[in-house]
Amino acid sequence: MTDPIDIVIVGGGTAGWMTAAALAATVGKDYRVRLVESDQIGTVGVGEATLPQMKDFNDHIGILEAEMMARTQATFKLGIEFRDWGYPGSSYIHPFGEFGRPRGGVDFLQHWVRARQAGEAEPIEAYSYAVQACRHGRFDFPVEDKSEINSTYAYAYHLDAGLYAAYLREFAQARGVERTEGRIVGVDRHAESGLVEAVQLESGEKVSGDWFIDCSGFRSLLLGETLEVPFEDWSEWLPCDRAVAVPSERDDRPAPFTRSTALEAGWQWRIPLQHRTGNGHVFCSRYISDDEATARLLENLDSAALADPRVLRFQAGRRSRSWEGNCIAVGLSSGFLEPLESTSIYLVQVAIMALTRLFPRRRPEPALINEFNRLVDYEYDRVRDFLILHYHLNQRDDGELWRHCREMSVPDSLAEKMELFRRRGFIDRYRFGLFAPPSWISVFLGQGLSPAGHEPLADNTPLEDAIGRMRELQASIDSRVQVMPAHGEFVADYCPATKAALS
Ligand SMILES: Cc1cc2nc3c(=O)[nH]c(=O)nc-3n(C[C@H](O)[C@H](O)[C@H](O)COP(=O)(O)OP(=O)(O)OC[C@H]3O[C@@H](n4cnc5c(N)ncnc54)[C@H](O)[C@@H]3O)c2cc1C
């Protein structure tokens, strides 16, 4: 019998325990997984809003949804409301679902643009089932029959990040992951190959391995500090570099969406959980001090604060490679993009899924490493462009941040996307990864960019037919949303443990 392949995970935040849980559930007995974390150092402790792909991750590794939701005080999420982003007083929702349905082989957007230009269409959100459910504070699971309008959406979760990591820890340890408590004070590397051989703990113990997964957070202990893989700084496009976070009392009628409200020098998040509400103010330290940003957050809370506000510092960007030699960075150690579209945990998931498919045996294999880095970079770059779009397309005149973002030049990849949408309402449909056309549509239109024209194919459908069909669609959405359960009641019924604890 050969020795098992040793995988050492450095760090026990959301990234570390998601990696440990996924490896424990998917790799075979040939691998032995050990996680090192330090309670002294702690975790970043935020990260409460997710994307629908998290359900795929949980399903894939065998997590039961209702149990996970009860244990993490989770609620459902159908999208994100952007308040005051286009201009003060505006509001739009980026839904996890479609706008309308295609007709005659042509996307709904094309019919809508034509009807809107003829003065015969409502704002696009009237044709989204998920947006209407959000606007009415309702939730239900999507149905499987694809011909039904209430099959046209997906959902994600709001959850307590600390509880989620603790839940995954239990899950992973029950499946054989060994946990070591201790602060890493040194790293041993092979003299010739430069591969990481072991991490040294403060206690003197050495933890050696064949593979090291760096989940050490912003510090990037292995990939950044030890292997010196450069960090690509994207703050010229995403200048916000701090956040102040504070929990507040729970909302009796939790919204099934995250709220993001633009402020003078950044924006504020509001995330309703079962037991409390998560709040934070992401801001640019060039334009507002920590104290002013904290005061602004506190004066905007809907309910009483439950703890002292905590300031976090960050920089937008990513490492130029996430996998180097025998070290793979997952989570904040590989990069960070502000939580405007709840993408960080998704990026953790992308790295884990790519890793479980590409994991070599004992030796690094360049083809597999290159493919992993390509997949991860793709996703980071696309998320970056999508976030920049929110800032760049703004009509706010209440702060230097907004003026700067409106006037800055954007990456070519984004400039091309904007131009295609402006001319034809055209959006590239990716084969995999973020973001799908409805996401781009909601932000383009929500931030005030409308297509000047439509695809010629849309003209094959008589305008009156297209308008009639849109009216039917809207009526069907309205009537079905009215009978959906209220979101808070749905959650309480679905998570009996929580219901019992709250009563
Ligand atoms: C303000 C803010 C808001 C966010 N909101 C969201 C959101 O809504 N949605 C979302 O998806 N993501 C969000 N994120 C990102 C999310 O929090 C992270 O992606 C996620 O928590 C993963 O973090 P991590 O595990 O990589 O790092 P961390 O949580 O920082 O964990 C690092 C781990 O490494 C260990 N460690 C570090 N150094 C050592 C050492 N020397 N020895 C031993 N152990 C060590 C620590 O003890 C810890 O266990 C947000 C981030 C910020 C900053």
Which pLDDT score is estimated for 497?
Answer: 58
Q: Is there a binding annotation on residue 12?
A: yes
pLDDT digits (tens, 9 = 90+) for 329-369: 999 999 999 999 999 999 999 999 999 999 888 888 999 99
Which pLDDT score is estimated for 499?
Answer: 54
**Across residues 297-306, what is the average pLDDT?**
97
- Please state which of the ranges 78-92, 170-184, 484-498 shows the lowest mean pLDDT: 484-498
pLDDT digits (tens, 9 = 90+) for 133-159: 999 999 999 999 999 999 999 999 999
**Across residues 318-338, what is the average pLDDT?**
98
- Which of 19, 46, 259, 297 for a ligand 1 pocket mutation test, highest count of atoms within 8 Å of Cβ? 46
**Across residues 431-443, what is the average pLDDT?**
92
Q: Is the preceding omega at residue 435 within 30 degrees of 0, hence cis?
A: yes
Residue 197, φ and ψ in degrees, nearest 5: -105, -35
Gap between the Cα atoms of 321 and 335, Å rounded: 10
User: 449 in helix, strand or coil?
Assistant: coil
Gap between the Cα atoms of 106 and 306, Å rounded: 50
Only one residue has tokens 């839904």, namely: 95
Start-end of CATH 3.50.50.60 domains in the chain: 5-48+160-234+316-381
Which CATH architecture best describes the domain 5-48+160-234+316-381? 3-Layer(bba) Sandwich (3.50)
Gap between the Cα atoms of 245 and 68, Å rounded: 24
* Confidence grade of residue 495 (pLDDT, cut at 50, 70, 90): confident
- Between these two residues, 364 and 259, which has the higher pLDDT value? 259
Statement: residue 62 has pLDDT above 70:
yes
**Across residues 458-477, what is the average pLDDT?**
96
Statement: residue 1 has pLDDT above 80:
no
User: Could you give the residue numbers annotated as active site?
Assistant: 77
Query: Which one, of 333, 403, 345, 411, lies nearest residue 74 by Cα?
Result: 345
349 lines ligand 1 (CB under 6 A): no
Only one residue has tokens 């890793």, namely: 355
Question: Residues 343, 80: contact at Cβ < 8 Å?
Answer: no
Query: Which one, of 147, 139, 31, 131, lies nearest residue 79 by Cα?
Result: 131
Angstrom distances, CA of residue 429 to CA of 366, 378, 394: 30, 14, 25
Contacts of 485 (CB under 8 A, 6+ apart): 138, 139, 140, 493
pLDDT digits (tens, 9 = 90+) for 189-215: 999 999 999 999 999 999 999 999 999
Question: Residues 333, 376: contact at Cβ < 8 Å?
Answer: no
Residue 380, φ and ψ in degrees, nearest 5: -60, -45
- Which of 40, 242, 244, 344 for a ligand 1 pocket mutation test, highest count of atoms within 8 Å of Cβ? 344
User: 199 in helix, strand or coil?
Assistant: strand
Summary mean pLDDT of the chain = 95
pLDDT digits (tens, 9 = 90+) for 23-48: 999 887 789 999 999 999 989 888 79
**Across residues 269-276, what is the average pLDDT?**
97
Contacts of 326 (CB under 8 A, 6+ apart): 195, 196, 210, 211, 212, 364
Only one residue has tokens 């042509």, namely: 106
Span from the CA of 20 to the centroid of ligand 1 (angstroms): 15
Task: Quote the tokens at residue 142.
Answer: 């999507």
Expressed in angstroms, the distance from the first to the final Cα of the chain is 55
* Confidence grade of residue 247 (pLDDT, cut at 50, 70, 90): very high
Start-end of CATH 3.30.70 domains in the chain: 242-313
* Confidence grade of residue 103 (pLDDT, cut at 50, 70, 90): confident
Statement: residue 239 has pLDDT above 80:
yes
Span from the CA of 15 to the centroid of ligand 1 (angstroms): 7
Which pLDDT score is estimated for 290?
Answer: 98
Question: Residues 414, 428: contact at Cβ < 8 Å?
Answer: no
- Which of 43, 157, 187 for a ligand 1 pocket mutation test, highest count of atoms within 8 Å of Cβ? 43
Statement: residue 502 has pLDDT above 60:
no
46 lines ligand 1 (CB under 6 A): yes
Which pLDDT score is estimated for 101?
Answer: 93
Statement: residue 445 has pLDDT above 70:
yes
**Which residue's C-alpha comes closest to atom 38 of ligand 1?**
216
**Across residues 449-475, what is the average pLDDT?**
95
12 lines ligand 1 (CB under 6 A): yes
Which pLDDT score is estimated for 498?
Answer: 54
335 lines ligand 1 (CB under 6 A): no
H-helix segments, 62-160: 65-72, 108-117, 129-135
Statement: residue 373 has pLDDT above 60:
yes
Which pLDDT score is estimated for 223?
Answer: 98
Which pLDDT score is estimated for 42?
Answer: 87
Which pLDDT score is estimated for 363?
Answer: 87
Top-level CATH class of 242-313?
A: alpha beta
**Across residues 231-254, what is the average pLDDT?**
97
* Confidence grade of residue 76 (pLDDT, cut at 50, 70, 90): very high
Statement: residue 501 has pLDDT above 80:
no
Span from the CA of 13 to the centroid of ligand 1 (angstroms): 5
